[in-house]
Amino acid sequence: MQTDTAASSRFVPKELPYAYDALAPQLSEETLHYHHDKHYVGYVNKLNELIVDTPYADQPLEDIIMSADGAIYNNAAQAWNHEFYFDQLSPKPQSEPQGALLEAINRSFGSFDRFKTQMNTAAAGLFGSGWAWLAAKPSGELVIVAESNAGNPMRSGLKPLLAIDVWEHAYYVDYRNRRPDAIKALWERIDWKTVGERYDRK
């Protein structure tokens, strides 16, 4: 998240790191316009409105997530979550984890396939709207966390590595109510190079 210091520390929405049609057919151009331009940008704009004349006006986004509650937390976390989500997707992704991240996945889940099965179950089974996360404990152990609404594992002392957005606006245009199909398709666009770099920065 960029911060415009010349405009009272207002947050500036980040552009997608690829073209709107670059993730098709798994994620359509229409979905990305709707998801990014309407929902994500809407969270950023609402956050900017809410923090005016509050102690949060000059704080970094992650600090707001860690200390705020109510509407400010919800919009701050959703802004952060969406940037994180969009950045892990790629038109030409590395299709599987490698190196230290793969070793950690094998230690924590038994295999990459077992991890994907557990992640699919967490994401598909989350009641209502929310996020399924792969996150790292300070020890390096990996865990899967299902968070409702704007929930972010940073609030529990975990480092987010991968996010699956299961709010309906993330998939309904392309998949209607077939959430498991949307999750299955998303794996084809997750860039494990990016996820591995996040793990290496733990």
Domain count, the chain: 1
What's the pLDDT tens digit per position in 15-56? Answer: 999 999 999 999 999 999 999 999 999 999 999 999 999 999
Output the domain CATH number for residue 158.
3.55.40.20
Q: Would you state the structure tokens that stand for residue 38, as one six-digit string?
A: 């309407």
Distance CA 64, CA 79 (A): 11
Structural domain including 152 reads 99-200
Give dist(CA 191, CA 17) in Å, integer. Answer: 12
Q: What would the DSSP string read from start to end of 83-144?
A: HHHHHTB-SS---S--HHHHHHHHHHHSSHHHHHHHHHHHHHH--SSEEEEEEE-TTS-EEE
Longest dimension (CA), the chain: 50
What is the CA angle 158-163-166, rounded to 5? 125
What pLDDT does residue 7 have? Answer: 43
**What are the tokens at 125?**
């089974």
Which position has the token pair 């993330």?
170
Has residue 191 been placed in a domain?
yes
CB-CB contact of 9 with 54 (8 Å): no
Residue 124 domain-assigned (yes or no): yes
Q: How much is the pLDDT for 111?
A: 98
Task: Tell me if 195 is assigned to some domain.
Answer: yes
Average pLDDT, the chain: 95
User: Locate tokens 């997530």: which residue?
Assistant: 65
Residue 117 lies in a domain: yes
The pLDDT score that the predictor gives to residue 98 is: 98
pTM, full prediction: 0.94
pLDDT attached to residue 15: 98
Q: The dihedral of CA 107, 159, 79, 23: what is its sign?
A: negative
Q: How far apart are the first and last CA of the chain?
A: 19
Domain membership of residue 65 (yes or no) is: no
Is position 66 within any domain?
no
Does 13 fall in a domain? Answer: no
In a domain, 91, yes or no: no
